[in-house]
């Protein structure tokens, strides 16, 4: 050891420090990539999973992965937070809107996971056990399982050749083949005519057998879906009052289908009409403590209260004289909305760019924030001072939420699995908003420090080789005191 240390040159120390800096830099880059992708430290994960059992520690069993399922009933959600994926009440048309975006930008706005959920929805809504009795329905049952859009469209035409009154075939063509809203509306009108006829037939014989009851449920789903999409077509084509009437009639005709959240379509249309009294009436019915909340409910309630004070609101004046009762109510409503979904304000304040909303959303997640802001940003802009009031007050919400977040405040605790689900729902080119922000693991700080320290030693060794050799031998003397005299002599 003495002979070896006495033969070391400054070049060796320089090569050693450069190599250690390079290796620690690679480890740091890998750790950072692993944290950004999976949210955990790779070194820490390996240590807990593999090294701790070897040295006699108890292996911690990993938490069970969150289950993502398409939700239709959220009665127990207040007491048991989970990542339940809901169908977006305002989802766009694939052919007339999503596909046009792809043609213009070359980007895919929908993820495979999102479209797979839609395929499951279509099979649940538009198929039943009696499809074998009607050849056209048998073809459509296969069509909803097809992954290729052209194959689905071809199957829809085959179903129409077998039965010109196949409502679900017109639905598929309206969603995927129509390249404009006008064309989609034409297809939906044909689907409505066929759907109403089939629905009346199912009503007359639904009590004959369980199969007939299942067929009535399916035909009801088709009819409700078609009427809702026709109302959305009217809304997009500027016939707002017609759309509002269609939505109100649909909610009266099928009151038990409240889980479809048609009231959120109605709220957006009423805001476009600036019928704020009607909006308040809808909120009074659906913003109930026993009903599940949504960003549309919470932020619309905040918008109405902000509307009463936002035009004359000034943060300087408010800080001098204090907040009035109306201003306090508006601020509390904003805090309530932000606590429910903390991702929305950055989109409303245009601090973050929007993308096309997905076909499914995760309540309280970034996907819901995108879907809400995409349709409601214009309504906030229309009310003078509303965005200014939001800008001045929204960040104060986070000082009110108790720590740790598991305690909750006005709502059930914020789910920890939202980031994973949102990354599945939102396109890869969109930067997913994360709340709460995860702290960097210890090993990222450690490897960053190690890389910086070894790089600094390499630079000093290159600039001052003789001094660094003396310093290195002094360190070695502390580590190996037995060989110290020989090392010093050779020095």
Q: What are the pLDDT digits (tens) for 29-71?
A: 776 676 666 656 666 666 656 555 555 544 443 333 333 334 4
Residues 40 and 108 in one domain: no
Residues 250 and 351 in one domain: no
Residues 279 and 373 in one domain: yes
The predicted model gives 404-422 an average pLDDT of 72
- DSSP label at residue 208: S
**Is 168 inside any structural domain?**
yes
Residues 179 and 312 in one domain: no
Q: Pick from 177, 156, 280, 168: which is nearest to 225 by CA?
A: 168
**Is 31 inside any structural domain?**
yes
Question: What pTM value is reported for the model?
Answer: 0.73
Q: Which one of 260, 283, 305 terminates a domain? A: 260
- Is 179 within 8 Å of 95 (Cβ atoms)? yes
Res 484: pLDDT: 44
Residues 336 and 256 in one domain: no
Q: Pick from 261, 295, 262: which is nearest to 380 by CA?
A: 295
Residues 312 and 385 in one domain: yes
**Using alpha carbons only, what angle is made at residue 180 by residues 175 and 186, rounded to the nearest 5 degrees?**
70
**Is 267 inside any structural domain?**
no
Res 36: pLDDT: 64
Long-range residue pairs from 99-108, CB within 8 A, at least 24 positions apart, any chain: 99/176, 99/179, 100/179, 101/356, 107/427, 107/429, 108/427
Residues 256 and 278 in one domain: no
**Does 73 have pLDDT greater than 50?**
no
Q: pLDDT digits over 375-389, tens only?
A: 999 999 999 999 999
Domain of 151 in residue numbering reads as 91-260
- DSSP label at residue 350: T
Q: Which one of 385, 420, 435 terminates a domain? A: 435
Q: pLDDT digits over 309-360, tens only?
A: 888 887 777 777 878 888 899 999 999 999 899 999 999 999 999 999 999 9
**Is 179 inside any structural domain?**
yes
Res 47: pLDDT: 63
Please provide residue 70's backbone torsions phi and psi, each rounded to the nearest 5 degrees.
-75, 120
**Is 490 inside any structural domain?**
no
Res 418: pLDDT: 85
Q: Which one of 260, 292, 317 terminates a domain? A: 260
Res 436: pLDDT: 66
**Is 461 inside any structural domain?**
no
Residues 158 and 289 in one domain: no
Residues 109 and 256 in one domain: yes
The predicted model gives 138-160 an average pLDDT of 92
- Is 169 within 8 Å of 140 (Cβ atoms)? yes
Polymer length in residues for the chain? 491
**Is 223 inside any structural domain?**
yes
pLDDT tier for residue 452 given thresholds of 50, 70 and 90: confident
Residues 404 and 331 in one domain: yes
| Better-scored residue on pLDDT, 266 or 76 | 266
- Alpha-carbon Rg for the chain, nearest whole angstrom, is 31
Residues 100 and 247 in one domain: yes
Residue spans of beta strands (DSSP E) within 184-333: none
**Using alpha carbons only, what angle is made at residue 242 by residues 237 and 247, rounded to the nearest 5 degrees?**
105
Q: Supply the mean pLDDT for the chain.
A: 81
Q: Picking from 361-365, 395-399, 415-419, 472-476, which range would have the lowest pLDDT averaged per residue?
A: 472-476
Residues 398 and 298 in one domain: yes
**Is 453 inside any structural domain?**
no
Res 345: pLDDT: 95
If one counts the domains in the chain, the total is 3
């Amino acid at each position: 050891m003495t002979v070896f240390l006495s033969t070391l040159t400054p070049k060796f120390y320089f090569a050693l420090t450069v190599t250690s800096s390079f290796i620690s830099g690679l480890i740091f880059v890998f750790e950072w990539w692993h944290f950004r992708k999976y949210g955990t430290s790779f070194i820490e994960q390996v240590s807990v999973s593999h090294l701790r059992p070897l040295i006699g520690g108890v292996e911690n069993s990993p938490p069970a992965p969150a289950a993502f399922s398409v939700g239709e009933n959220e009665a127990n959600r207040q007491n048991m937070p989970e990542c339940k994926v809901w169908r977006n009440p305002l989802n766009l048309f694939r052919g007339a809107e999503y596909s046009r975006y792809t043609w213009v930008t070359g980007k895919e706005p929908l993820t495979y996971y999102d479209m797979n959920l839609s395929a499951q929805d279509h099979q649940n809504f538009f198929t039943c056990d009696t499809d074998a009795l009607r050849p056209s329905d048998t073809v459509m049952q296969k069509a909803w399982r097809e992954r290729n859009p052209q194959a689905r469209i071809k199957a829809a035409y085959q179903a129409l050749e077998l039965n010109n009154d196949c409502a679900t075939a017109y639905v598929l063509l309206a969603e995927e083949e129509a390249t404009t809203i006008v064309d989609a509306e034409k297809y939906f009108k044909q689907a409505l005519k066929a759907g109403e006829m089939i629905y009346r037939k199912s009503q007359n014989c639904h009590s004959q057998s369980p199969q007939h009851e299942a067929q009535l449920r399916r035909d009801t789903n088709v009819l409700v879906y078609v009427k809702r999409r026709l109302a959305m077509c009217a809304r997009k084509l500027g016939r707002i009052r017609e759309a509002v009437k269609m939505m109100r009639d649909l909610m009266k005709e099928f009151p038990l289908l409240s889980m479809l959240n048609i009231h959120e379509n109605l709220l957006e249309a009423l805001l476009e009409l600036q019928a704020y009294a009607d909006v308040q009436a809808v909120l009074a019915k659906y913003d109930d403590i026993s009903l599940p909340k949504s960003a549309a409910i919470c932020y619309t309630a905040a918008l109405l209260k902000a509307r009463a004070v936002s035009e004359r609101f000034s943060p300087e004046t408010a800080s001098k004289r204090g907040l009035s009762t109306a201003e306090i109510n508006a601020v509390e409503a904003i805090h309530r909305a932000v606590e429910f979904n903390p991702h929305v304000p950055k989109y409303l304040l245009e601090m973050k760019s929007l993308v096309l909303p997905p076909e499914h959303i995760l309540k309280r997640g970034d996907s819901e924030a995108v879907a809400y802001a995409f349709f409601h940003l214009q309504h906030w802009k229309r009310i003078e001072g509303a965005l200014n009031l939001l800008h001045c007050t929204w960040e104060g919400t986070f000082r009110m939420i108790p720590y740790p977040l598991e305690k909750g405040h006005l709502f059930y605790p914020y789910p920890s699995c939202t980031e994973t689900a949102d990354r599945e729902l939102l396109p890869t080119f969109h930067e997913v908003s994360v709340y709460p922000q995860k702290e960097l693991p210890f090993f990222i700080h450690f490897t960053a420090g190690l890389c910086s320290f070894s790089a600094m030693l390499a630079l000093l060794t290159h600039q001052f080789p003789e001094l660094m050799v003396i310093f290195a031998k002094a360190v070695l003397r502390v580590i190996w005191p037995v060989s110290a005299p020989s090392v010093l002599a050779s020095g």
